[in-house]
Amino acid sequence: MKIFLDTANLDEIREAAALGVVDGITTNPSLLAKETGDPEAILVEICETVDGPISGEVVATEADGMIKEGRHLASLHENVVVKIPCITEGLKATKILSGEGKRVNMTLVFSPTQALLAAKSGARYVSPFLGRLDDIAAPGMDLVADIIQIFDHYDFDCEVLAASLRHPLHVVEAARMGADIATMPKSVFDKLLKHPLTDIGLKRFLDDWEKVKAQLAAKAV
């Protein structure tokens, strides 16, 4: 499973990218609004930092505007993926942009039928928002499972990008189900590696090794 960070914060992106396991980045208008500076410049800087798909979202709500914005975003850097909301106008825009060879990430997907239409319109990625479904007491993981099951029957060139992940268990479940990608905030990413038994075990190994060194030093005297 590919791991994407869901952030527009360059410090977070640089720190995580240094580990060598970050495959791409998703941004959205809310995430960019948290940062200072020109959003386009930030997007380009992100593309220069992580060599993978970097989603930048359109804010137009009519197909013509989405297409114009999408073409512009895609022209900023070869890594840019145009993120388009899963609405009627978004579908029209996706058909045109994907026909031009631009990669589209269809976002704000909350039902299997939306995912099916997104894939049929040529979206390269489809983003079911698990956490926001969980927030309204609807099991978000069930949506991912449904989409994967549906896509398994066909030949869509569309990856399932599990989004709106809130904790490591979402990541585990997405991986168990075979989601192609999981995008997560840096706070969730940081928790993936941490385990207290690893820290305790390492400390014990190092303490014991110090004892060996002390014995060897004592013998050498």
Identity of the residue, 76 or 208, whose beta carbon is nearer to ligand E4P in the bound complex? 76
Helix segments in 1-139, DSSP class H: 10-17, 29-33, 39-49, 63-76, 88-99, 112-120, 130-135
Minimum distance, C-beta of residue 202 to ligand E4P, in the bound complex (Å): 32
Identity of the residue, 67 or 84, whose beta carbon is nearer to ligand E4P in the bound complex? 84
Q: Which residues bind ligand E4P (CB under 6 A)?
A: 6, 26, 28, 107, 127, 129, 131-132, 163-164, 183
Identity of the residue, 79 or 107, whose beta carbon is nearer to ligand E4P in the bound complex? 107
Dihedral, 65, 67, 69, 71 alpha carbons, nearest 10: -160
Cβ count near 95 (within 10 Å)? 16
Minimum distance, C-beta of residue 200 to ligand E4P, in the bound complex (Å): 32
Does residue 83 carry a catalytic annotation? yes
Minimum distance, C-beta of residue 171 to ligand E4P, in the bound complex (Å): 12
Identity of the residue, 98 or 127, whose beta carbon is nearer to ligand E4P in the bound complex? 127
From the list 2, 34, 68, 83, the catalytic residue is: 83
Give the burial class of 143: count Cβ atoms within 10 A of its Cβ; 0-12 exposed, 13-18 middle, 19 or more buried: buried
Dihedral, 202, 195, 171, 124 alpha carbons, nearest 10: -30
Minimum distance, C-beta of residue 43 to ligand E4P, in the bound complex (Å): 13
**Among 98, 99, 115, 97, CA closest to 107:** 115
- Tokens representing 122? 């040529």
* Residues identified as active-site: 83
